[in-house]
């Protein structure tokens, strides 16, 4: 099965997962998704204050290469809940399939957690101790949202979507 087929299988599995949730669990998941998105937005805003865009332009986004496993199941749920479709071009290797040669196509709150949480050395050197503290708090909140949502649904939502779909393909039950 190729990456596009796995992506399609993963999105079908996501819909089934959501459909099987009780109303109470669905509401709790929605609240976690909102908190998750907000924490990523705060994290990205702190990083942006050190002019990360210029640093990223200089290195030409080396951290964005080979990113097909960046979107986890919870990221995909967040994008689905926001009714924001995700287009993926799995043939543009080594560039991330969720971006273009001009950069990421996703707004910070809906980017994969791995992408938001990654801080390269050049960016880290420009951060104040206070900014690092805020980032640590937001990272903890992001990871807690994933843990709580995983517990709520009984699924490992921090798993990359393509791997989650491949696991279902191998073990359909």
This prediction's pTM: 0.90
Q: Has residue 30 got a pLDDT over 60?
A: yes
Give the least confident one: 35-44, 90-99, 118-127, 139-148.
90-99
Give the pLDDT band (50/70/90) at residue 173.
Answer: low
Find the mean pLDDT for residues 139-156.
97
Q: Has residue 42 got a pLDDT over 60?
A: yes
Helix (H, G, I), strand (E, B) or coil at 109: helix
Q: Phi and psi for 65 in degrees, rounded to 5?
A: -75, 150
| Alpha-carbon gap, residue 41 to 95, rounded angstroms | 23
Distances, alpha carbon 112 to alpha carbons 40, 61, 81, in Å:
9, 15, 14
| Alpha-carbon gap, residue 17 to 74, rounded angstroms | 11
What sign has the CA pseudo-torsion 9, 153, 106, 127? negative
pLDDT over 70 for what percent of the chain?
97
Distances, alpha carbon 47 to alpha carbons 86, 124, 129, 143, in Å:
24, 9, 13, 18
| CA angle at 55 for the pair 49 and 56, rounded to the nearest 5° | 105
Those residues whose C-beta lies under 8 Å from the C-beta of residue 6, and which sit 6 or more positions away, are: 162, 165, 166, 169
Average pLDDT over the chain reads: 89
Give the pLDDT band (50/70/90) at residue 172.
Answer: low
Find the mean pLDDT for residues 135-146.
96
């Amino acid at each position: 099965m190729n990456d596009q087929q796995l992506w399609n299988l993963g999105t079908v599995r996501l819909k089934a997962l959501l459909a099987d949730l009780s109303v109470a669990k669905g509401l709790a998941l929605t609240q976690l998704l909102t908190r998750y998105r907000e924490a990523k937005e705060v994290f990205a805003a702190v990083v942006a204050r050190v002019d990360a865009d210029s640093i990223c332009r200089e290195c030409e986004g080396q951290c964005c290469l080979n990113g097909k496993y960046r979107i986890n199941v919870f990221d995909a749920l967040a994008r689905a809940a926001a009714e924001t479709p995700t287009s993926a071009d799995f043939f543009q290797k080594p560039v991330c399939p969720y971006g273009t040669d001009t950069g990421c196509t996703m707004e910070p709150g809906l980017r994969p957690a791995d992408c938001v949480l990654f801080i390269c050395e050049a960016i880290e050197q420009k951060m104040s101790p206070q900014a690092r503290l805020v980032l640590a708090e937001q990272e903890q909140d992001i990871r807690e949202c994933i843990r709580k949502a995983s517990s709520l649904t009984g699924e490992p939502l921090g798993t990359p979507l393509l791997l989650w779909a491949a696991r279902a393909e191998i073990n359909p039950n």
